[in-house]
Amino acid sequence: MFKRIPGISLGCDYNPEQWSPGVWREDVALMREAGVDLVAVNIFGWSNLEPSPGRYHFEDLDEVIGLLHENGIRVNLGTGTSSPPPWLSSLHPEILPAAADGTIRFPGGRQAWCPSSPVFREKAFALVEQVAQRYGSHPAVALWHVSNELGCHNALCYCQVSAEAFRGWLRERYRKIETLNEAWGTSFWSQRYSDWSEIQTPRLALSLRNPAQIIDFHRFSSDELLGYYRGELEIIRRHSAIPTTTNFMVTAHIRNLDYWSWAPEMDVVANDHYLDHRLGDPVAELSFAADLTRGLAGGKPWMLMEQAAGAVNWQPHNLTKAPGEMLRNSLTHVARGADSLCFFQWRASAQGAEKFHSALLPHAGTDTVAWREVLRLSETLDRIGEVAGTEVESDVALVFSWESWWSAEGEARPSQAVTYLDEVHRAHRALRELGVTVDIVAPGADVEKYKLVVIPCLYMISDEAAENINQYVGNGGSLLVTFFSGIVDERDRIRLGGYPGAFKDVLGIHGEEFAPLLPGHEVTLSNGATGSLWTERLRTTTAETIATYTDGPLPGVPAITRNGNAWYAATQLDRRGLRELMRSAVESAGVTPAGPESNGDVEVVRRSKDGRSYLFVVNHSAQSVQIAGEDLVSGKLITELKAGDVAVIREAGND
C-alpha cells in the first residue's frame, strides 16, 4: 500500500484547518496523484482542538486522519502545541516571552510562549495527553512530530520566570556561587555575586555584558527547550510506541539550539531547510546544512521535514525556483543522506501571514509548471527508491560547534566582520569544489577514522576536545585549522601563553597579537593568494612557512604554515587560495574525491552500504558533464549528464 516503504518518502505539512471538508477530499485525491505518502497534520491545531479551556474537539482531526489512512497515506502527527490559542495568553499573560530589552512579545504571531513557563507546560502537556491517548496506536500514524521548530522564535526568553529557571540551571552546573564567580570571571567590572538570587538573564545593559554569562544563558536556553521536548516525549511514550521527532532548523539564520545535545534524543533526526538568497551561495549552504544534519544523525539516514517547492515569503526578496531547481535541491538532500523529502506545505494558503509562500499545490492549481515539477520529483523518487538505507562515504571531518558560534560572535571581539558560519561555509565550499565529501562532527567526536580533520574558526573548545584533536594528529591524522580557532576554553577564558592556545603545539606556531583588517582591505601573500579580514603576528616554532604576507600590517610574517600533517591559515584566504591550501591538505592526507573538481556547480556524492553503491551527480552548471553508468533517474546507460540534470549511477557491486 505504501509504495515508498522501503524507499524515499515524499511528504508535506498539511493544514486542513484552513480549508473546508470538501477541499480535504480533493486534497487527498491529489496527494495520491502526486505520490505523497507522508503527511504532517496538527502542527498548528491547538485552537481548533481545544477551542476553550479544557473543551476538546477532535472530530475534524479524526476525519482528516481517517481520510489519509483510507488513502494509504501515513501520518506524521503533530502534538499541536507549537502555538497557543488566544484564550491561553488572555487567561495567563505570564506565559508570554520577554525579549532582551525586557519588553514582552505579544501573541498575534506564533510560538509566543516562554520555554520555562510552568503554566504553558501544564496546558500544553494536557493537550499532548489527549492527542497521544487518542492517536497513540492509530494505524495511520507513522511518526510523532513534537511541537514545531522548537525555539524558532522563542529560544531566548529574558522574563523573570526564565531568570528563576536560569538560576536553577546554574546551581546545578556550578553548585557553589564561588565556582560560578570564577567561571564567569566576575572580578572584572565588580560583578562578583554573593548570592544566586542576584543573577539575572543577560538583558541588554548600558555597556558590554559578561560574555561568560551570555554563553551560559545560551546553553541554558537550549537545554530548557530540550527539557520541554522531553516533557512531551514522556507523555507520548505512555500511550504510544511510534517513533518521535521534532524538526530541527539547521540553517544559516537560526543558531540558538545546540543540536549536538538534542540529536541523540530523536528517534529520527529531521531538519527544515530553505534556500536563503541573502547568502552568497545558497546551494552551497544547502549542501553544508545537509551534511551537518547527517552528522547529527550519526551518519544514518535522516529526514528533510520541510523545504519549499518554490519561493518562501519571509526573505526580503523571495525568489522562485526555475524548472529543475527543486529537483536538484531535493537530490542534494538525498545525496547527503536524506531518506524522506517533505515540504512546507501541501496547499498554498489563501489567508494568513504565509499566503505568499509556495506549496506543492499552488494557488493556480494543477495546470502549472510548479505542479508538474512535483510530479517529476515524485517519479524520480520512485526510480531511485533502492538507495534508501545507504550511507554517505567520507574521509574528511569538519568540526562544527554551536557553542563556538555563540561565543565567537560575542559583543566585544577583535573584529565584528568575522562571522563563524561564513568561515565554516568557506571551508566546506572549498572541499565541495574539490569534489570531496565531508562529514560534520562535534568537537570531541571520535575522528580516528578520518584522513583529514578541518577546523574552521573554532574559537571555543574544551580541554578534552582539544586534547582529542591533538592526539589524533599525534596518531598520524592530518589537520587543517583556520584563524581564530582554539582561543578560549568553555568558560570563554583565553588560553594564555600564545595563540591559538589549544592548537599552537600541534601547529608548531606561536601567535602574539591579532591584527584584523578593515572590511574591503586585502593583503597579498607570497604564494599569490590574498587575505582579508584577519592577520596575526605569529612566528613558527616547529612549523615551516608556506606563505608570508608581502604587504599589509605584517609583511614577512607567516600567513600559512605547515607542521608535518598540520596546516594553519592565519588569514581569510580568497576562494582560490583556500581551495589550493585545502587541495594540499587533501592530497597529502591521501583523500580520494568522490567526483571531479568544479566551481561547486557539479556535486558528486557516494552513498553505499552492504555492497550497494550509488553515485549521485547534481549538475547545477550550464554545461553537460561527463559521467558514465547505469542511471536510475533516466533509467538509461548514460555517458554524460546535461546542464541542470541529476543522475544516480548504480555502481558495480550492486546485485
Site residues for ligand GAL per CB under 6 A: 148-149, 152, 272, 274, 306, 312, 344, 354, 357
> By C-beta, is 254 or 417 nearer to ligand GAL?
254
Q: What is the CA radius of gyration of the chain?
A: 26
> By C-beta, is 357 or 562 nearer to ligand GAL?
357
> By C-beta, is 151 or 593 nearer to ligand GAL?
151
- Tell me how far, at minimum, the Cβ of 174 lies from ligand GAL, in Å: 35
Tell me the β-bridge partners of 603.
Answer: 618
Residue found by looking up cell 524515499 in the block: 8
77 closest CA partner among 110, 108, 43: 43
- Tell me how far, at minimum, the Cβ of 148 lies from ligand GAL, in Å: 5
- Tell me how far, at minimum, the Cβ of 125 lies from ligand GAL, in Å: 21
Q: Are 500 and 466 in contact (CB under 8 A)?
A: no
- Tell me how far, at minimum, the Cβ of 290 lies from ligand GAL, in Å: 17
Cell numbers linked to 354: 504565509
- Tell me how far, at minimum, the Cβ of 308 lies from ligand GAL, in Å: 6
Which candidate in 50, 149, 373, 403 is catalytic? 149
> By C-beta, is 272 or 601 nearer to ligand GAL?
272
Q: What is the DSSP letter of 543?
A: P
- Tell me how far, at minimum, the Cβ of 107 lies from ligand GAL, in Å: 16
> By C-beta, is 148 or 478 nearer to ligand GAL?
148
Q: Is 581 exposed, middle or buried (0-12, 13-18, 19+ CB in 10 A)?
A: buried
φ, ψ of residue 52 to 5 degrees: the values are: -145, 160
- Tell me how far, at minimum, the Cβ of 345 lies from ligand GAL, in Å: 7
CA distances from 148 to 83, 231, 331, 353, 654 (A): 9, 14, 25, 17, 39
Which candidate in 232, 306, 423, 603 is catalytic? 306
Report the C-alpha gap between 578 and 426 in whole angstroms: 8
CA distances from 493 to 212, 462, 463, 532 (A): 8, 10, 12, 26
Q: Are 335 and 616 in contact (CB under 8 A)?
A: yes
> By C-beta, is 147 or 210 nearer to ligand GAL?
147
Cell numbers linked to 250: 539547521
Report the C-alpha gap between 548 and 524 in whole angstroms: 9
> By C-beta, is 17 or 182 nearer to ligand GAL?
17
Q: Are 71 and 3 in contact (CB under 8 A)?
A: no
φ, ψ of residue 597 to 5 degrees: the values are: -75, 145
- Tell me how far, at minimum, the Cβ of 83 lies from ligand GAL, in Å: 9
> By C-beta, is 15 or 210 nearer to ligand GAL?
15
418 closest CA partner among 409, 427, 429: 409
Q: Are 75 and 142 in contact (CB under 8 A)?
A: yes
CA distances from 486 to 145, 164, 220, 469 (A): 37, 33, 23, 11
> By C-beta, is 78 or 211 nearer to ligand GAL?
78
HEC per residue, 141-209: EEEEECCCCCCCCCCCCCCHHHHHHHHHHHHHHHCCHHHHHHHHCCCHHHCCCCCHHHCCCCCCCCCCC
Q: Are 118 and 177 in contact (CB under 8 A)?
A: no
Q: Which strands, in side-by-side order, build the sheet including 247-248?
A: 244-245, 141-145, 74-78, 38-41, 9-13, 338-343, 302-306, 270-272, 247-248
- Tell me how far, at minimum, the Cβ of 309 lies from ligand GAL, in Å: 11
Given the DSSP bridges, would you call strands 558-563 and 544-548 parallel, antiparallel or unpaired? antiparallel
For 316-462, where are the alpha helices, taking DSSP H only? 325-335, 369-384, 402-408, 420-433
- Tell me how far, at minimum, the Cβ of 272 lies from ligand GAL, in Å: 5
Q: Are 595 and 449 in contact (CB under 8 A)?
A: no
> By C-beta, is 318 or 548 nearer to ligand GAL?
318
Report the C-alpha gap between 171 and 99 in whole angstroms: 24
HEC per residue, 335-354: HCCEEEEEECCCECCCCCCC
> By C-beta, is 246 or 598 nearer to ligand GAL?
246
Q: Is 325 a catalytic residue?
A: no
> By C-beta, is 330 or 394 nearer to ligand GAL?
330
Q: Is 50 a catalytic residue?
A: no
- Tell me how far, at minimum, the Cβ of 357 lies from ligand GAL, in Å: 5
Q: Are 647 and 631 in contact (CB under 8 A)?
A: yes
- Tell me how far, at minimum, the Cβ of 43 lies from ligand GAL, in Å: 6
Cell numbers linked to 41: 497534520
CA dihedral 423, 429, 434, 437 (to 10 degrees): 100
Residue found by looking up cell 556547480 in the block: 601
Report the C-alpha gap between 524 and 549 in whole angstroms: 6
Q: Provide the annotated active-site residues.
A: 149, 306
